[in-house]
Structure 1
């Protein structure tokens, strides 16, 4: 890859995956190196580094933090994306802004399409949706990439279940989404960077998540089965309703994303079942911290 990509949120999971995938052509900046809530700091950083493409992977991703630290959450998840988009537009630099399936939450009978109106259930989703609007209001050389349920870096939901070393785990059977293999996602984002830098027309909204839709419990069951076949012991899986987990910010029961537009763009779907069937996907050796 010859495109020079600057990635914000350098200590985050996706930024690390992008750095490992893109090598020396990917420059990541942590919050200590770049304060994305400071518009002047963003402008001076882009003036100095002059990347070909920017990927904004920075976010306050804890759903509950949007309630416990609302001012910080608004600054990072809603206001800062607009600052980054403005700085990129000033230099004519393409921007890929990472967003989330949690901008959706209304009842539906099908996966959410890019053209569907947002319907967030919690503050996190509302602020991320506001961040999307702030990016789209700035310029044309932007792409909002919605992702979901990242896995494959040793820090995902299933890896955490295994690390707990419990005899039994409870997983929601009534929460449906789009598990997304993080290494394959990183490859797509970097390929998208190259295409945007080359001036190719790219949709301004793109669902870059895994397919097909699956309940969280069925996804975990699939991973546990592949691990058992490889000789690894797994906990007993108890399928329970989301309501059993009690308080906290509400989560959508169905936030699966329709990724057919991305499949057309890249020639195939990002099938989570391929990575889930590989036991090594859920070992910490894949992507050590």
Structure 2
């Protein structure tokens, strides 16, 4: 567990601690860094308030008085950022956790880490993408607004796909959660209807079914590039999950996915097969599968 950043502005280790924590990948380090950003923000606000207000006469406006007043403001800003603070730190903490694929315990009300799409053909090994059309499907706006609702909605389909793959059902659920931010980022059709494509599988030249276009971020040689791509569209979640299982079992690149009993092994097998080029993809998926959010959702009585 990471050591917390010290609470005094006079502690000379604060900057070193912050640099160290920013390089770590843990909920504790994310929380500490987020609090420091909030403290800086509060300090900026207080500085602007000081500059726009005059009071107390000349004795309060000397350089010495301003120096000590500034130090007091810094300490006050740091103190205010502790605990629940003004709320900015929690927002930063949630976003950092989502971007890094780390379960901070605050992720139920925001999308999971950016989703990556997969090409069914050989080109998939060289690209990855995420839907960025900014639309939420009707399904994502109802029960899918919570992780428990999302899991409850797709659980039976995930079980069927998992059986075909020979993996635990929570692996499949975690994969869908990563790709769509717990259902909130599901690609929709032009009329707002759901595509039911929870795994962001692209429509290659051999795909004969319905398609939907979405703006994506493709990683070409590690460099993100925005593009518009065609994705598969289905008539139901049942059809979508069956196609997902068929893709992973029929394509020899994903031969190591089937039969995986370990979350990290499952995630790494997908990455080795070319499901995504994000260097952190396997880590993100592993963290979601083993995270508190999915664990809590799976313990719901509704399953």
One fold, TM greater than 0.5? no
- Which has the larger helix fraction? 2
Shorter-normalised TM range: under 0.3
- Structure number with larger C-alpha Rg: 2
Task: Name the TM-score, length of structure 2 as normaliser.
Answer: 0.21
TM-score normalised according to structure 1 size? 0.22
Larger RCO: 1 or 2 (CA < 8 Å, sep 6+): 1
- The structure with more strand, counted as a fraction of residues: 1
